[in-house]
């Protein structure tokens, strides 16, 4: 893949001007959810009506935002809470925690032509399995929900946190994969020309190569279950296809932004670079790079090493504690040097000349003051 085209140096908010959809994507374990919430807070602070869709947020953060229960519709963060965070009308912040199963069920209800067929799909054991998060539906439902909220007149902009995947690419691929299946290749394969006696035909048509092969592989019961599932799903396939096409278009729309979130460690950094290139390859926009949990050297620091620090602080702290502070200072400087190098490498490889660097805080982010601190770091002027 060719090197990505560099972005123009600009503040994060400038790059998000005109955005209707902001997708926070990147490897697992780097604080994507927190970044999404803080970014939403920043946009609300600029007078926009923002909905943030979080995936599996820390319980305490969800409680702090007032969205402590799973629900599939955004709930407004209380005006008093927002005011304390510097958000005033017309700015609004709504938050929700994605429930993949509820989202999937809602989609089926919307697309089913009648209540009978809706119930048939919802009760099917194979449907129940694929509609759980583990079945890969997290990614599909996240973008399906994004599509609904994007058209919701209550919101100016929707910020989407993305599911934790082994590979960040899964987020981009999974909607197509599930949609491709739901929109009918498999359905047509099983239903063929007619729509009657599917299970019987499955059992009879040993000569059909694909069916025969799958039966050989899985046993006839699985095949029959699958046939039943695809038969009940049949009437919904056009709707799924249309929805999948709309979602694909939305992810490439000029009003959509992708913020790649990562950390300074070697594995997340490598994954972020790879992901950014893949965005380019599939024609999706890249807006900004956010590097979380970076150890930053205080500009006021002298260049003394741990030994010098220990000697300087010994009179005040006592020699044993001063020596420990000295050792910690050496660790700190080493880590800050590593992180500075990682940020520079990420900047060059992703083509973002001014990546957002969020310093490592003293504690994990679970309350609103900490979230506001992350927001302030996202908005800090960059050089």
Partner 1 sequence: MAGDLLERRLVVVTGKGGVGKSTVAAALAVAAARRGKRVVVAEVGRRADVAATLVPGGDDRPGVAHEDDVERFDERPLAGPWGDGLWHVSVSPEAALREYLRDQLPIGPLAELLRSSRMFTALTAATPGLRELLALGKVWELAQAERRTPGAAPYDLCVMDAPASGHAATMLGAPAQFAATARVGPVARQGLRIADTITDPASTAVVVTATAEELPVGEALELRDALRAEAGVDVALGVGNGLLADRFDAADRAVLDGAGEDPAVRAARHHAARAHDQQRQLARLRRELGAPVSTLPFLPVAQVGPAQVVALADRLERAIGRRAAA
Name which of residues 186 to 215 contact partner 1 (CB under 8 A): 186, 189-190, 209-211, 213-215
Q: Can you tell me which residue has the tokens 């305490």?
A: 60
Distance CA 296, CA 338 (A): 10
Tell me which of 63, 106, 156, 225 binds partner 1, using CB under 8 A: 225
**How big is the chain by its Cα radius of gyration, in Å?**
25
Tell me which of 114, 362, 381, 383 binds partner 1, using CB under 8 A: 362
Q: Decide: is 216 part of the binding site for partner 1 (CB under 8 A).
A: yes
Q: Which of residues 76-105 bind partner 1 (CB under 8 A)?
A: none
Distance CA 21, CA 46 (A): 16
Q: Decide: is 309 part of the binding site for partner 1 (CB under 8 A).
A: yes
Is the separation of the CB atoms in 169 and 275 below 8 Å? yes
Distance CA 329, CA 53 (A): 39
DSSP 199-234: HHHHHH-TT-HHHHHHHHHH-HHHHHHHHHHHHHHG
Q: How far is the CB of 170 from partner 1 (least distance, A)?
A: 8
Q: Mask of contacts with partner 1, 57-76, x by CB under 8 A?
A: -xxx----------------
Tell me which of 24, 87, 126, 251 binds partner 1, using CB under 8 A: 126
Q: Which of residues 18-37 bind partner 1 (CB under 8 A)?
A: 27-30
Q: How far is the CB of 201 from partner 1 (least distance, A)?
A: 14
Exposure class string for 252-268: b at 16+ Cβ within 10 A, else e:
eeeebbbbbbbbbbeeb
Q: How far is the CB of 207 from partner 1 (least distance, A)?
A: 12
Tell me which of 13, 102, 133, 246 binds partner 1, using CB under 8 A: 133
Q: Which of residues 256-295 bind partner 1 (CB under 8 A)?
A: 263, 266-274
Q: How far is the CB of 297 from partner 1 (least distance, A)?
A: 8
Q: Decide: is 122 part of the binding site for partner 1 (CB under 8 A).
A: no
> Is the Cβ of residue 153 or residue 193 nearer to partner 1 in the bound state?
193
Tell me which of 17, 249, 331, 344 binds partner 1, using CB under 8 A: 331
Q: Decide: is 301 part of the binding site for partner 1 (CB under 8 A).
A: yes
**Structure tokens, 360:** 């490592």
Select from 44-52, 108-116, 131-139, 146-154 the region that touches partner 1 (CB under 8 A). Answer: 131-139
Q: Decide: is 334 part of the binding site for partner 1 (CB under 8 A).
A: yes
Q: Decide: is 185 part of the binding site for partner 1 (CB under 8 A).
A: yes
Q: How far is the CB of 36 from partner 1 (least distance, A)?
A: 15
Is the separation of the CB atoms in 356 and 292 below 8 Å? no
Task: Give me the torsion for CA of 368, 370, 371, 373, rounded to 10°.
Answer: 130
Distance CA 105, CA 348 (A): 43
> Is the Cβ of residue 92 or residue 105 nearer to partner 1 in the bound state?
105
Q: How far is the CB of 72 from partner 1 (least distance, A)?
A: 19
Q: How far is CA 49 from the centre of its chain?
A: 20
Q: Which of residues 231-260 bind partner 1 (CB under 8 A)?
A: none
Q: Decide: is 130 part of the binding site for partner 1 (CB under 8 A).
A: yes
**Structure tokens, 254:** 């000029």
E-strand ranges in 220-328 read 256-262, 288-294
Tell me which of 1, 316, 381, 383 binds partner 1, using CB under 8 A: 316
**Structure tokens, 187:** 């359905």
Name the pairing type of β-strands 71-76 and 157-161.
unpaired
Select from 2-10, 78-86, 238-246, 330-338 the region that touches partner 1 (CB under 8 A). Answer: 330-338
Q: Can you tell me which residue has the tokens 């959809």?
A: 21
Tell me which of 14, 83, 110, 218 binds partner 1, using CB under 8 A: 218
Adjacency order of strands within the sheet including 288-294: 71-76, 92-97, 49-54, 157-161, 21-25, 256-262, 288-294, 356-359
Select from 77-85, 121-129, 251-259, 375-383 the region that touches partner 1 (CB under 8 A). Answer: 121-129
């Amino acid at each position: 893949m060719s090197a990505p085209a560099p972005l123009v140096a600009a503040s994060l908010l400038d790059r998000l001007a005109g955005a209707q959809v902001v997708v926070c994507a990147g490897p697992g374990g780097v604080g994507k959810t927190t970044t999404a919430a803080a970014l939403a807070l920043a946009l609300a602070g600029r007078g926009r009506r923002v909905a943030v869709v979080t995936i599996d947020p820390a319980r305490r953060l969800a409680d702090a935002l007032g969205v402590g229960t799973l629900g599939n519709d955004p709930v407004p963060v209380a005006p008093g809470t927002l005011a304390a965070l510097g958000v005033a009308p017309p700015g609004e912040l709504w938050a929700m925690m994605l429930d993949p199963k509820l989202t999937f069920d809602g989609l089926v209800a919307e697309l089913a032509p009648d209540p009978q067929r809706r119930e048939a799909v919802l009760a099917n054991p194979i449907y129940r399995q694929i509609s759980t998060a583990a079945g890969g539906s997290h990614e599909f439902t996240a973008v399906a929900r994004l599509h609904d909220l994007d058209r919701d007149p209550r919101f100016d902009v929707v910020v989407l946190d993305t599911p934790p995947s082994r590979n960040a690419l899964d987020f981009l691929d999974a909607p197509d994969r599930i949609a491709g299946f739901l929109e009918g290749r498999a359905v047509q394969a099983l239903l063929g020309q007619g729509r009657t006696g599917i299970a019987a035909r499955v059992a009879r048509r040993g000569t059909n190569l694909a069916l025969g092969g799958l039966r050989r592989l899985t046993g006839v019961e699985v095949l029959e279950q699958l046939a039943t599932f695809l038969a009940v799903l049949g009437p919904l396939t056009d709707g799924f296809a249309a929805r999948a096409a709309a979602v694909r278009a939305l992810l490439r729309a000029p009003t959509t932004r992708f913020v790649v979130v990562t950390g300074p460690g070697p594995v997340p950094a490598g994954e972020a670079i790879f992901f950014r290139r893949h965005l380019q390859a599939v024609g999706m926009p890249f807006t900004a790079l956010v590097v979380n949990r970076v150890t930053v050297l205080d500009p006021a620091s002298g260049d003394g090493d741990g030994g010098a620090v220990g000697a300087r602080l010994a009179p005040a702290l006592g020699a044993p504690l001063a020596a420990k502070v000295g050792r910690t200072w050496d660790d700190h400087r080493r880590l800050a040097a590593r992180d500075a190098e990682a940020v520079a490498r990420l900047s060059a490889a992703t083509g973002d000349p001014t990546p957002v660097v969020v310093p490592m805080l003293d504690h994990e982010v679970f309350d609103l003051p900490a979230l506001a601190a992350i927001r302030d770091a996202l908005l800090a002027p960059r050089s």
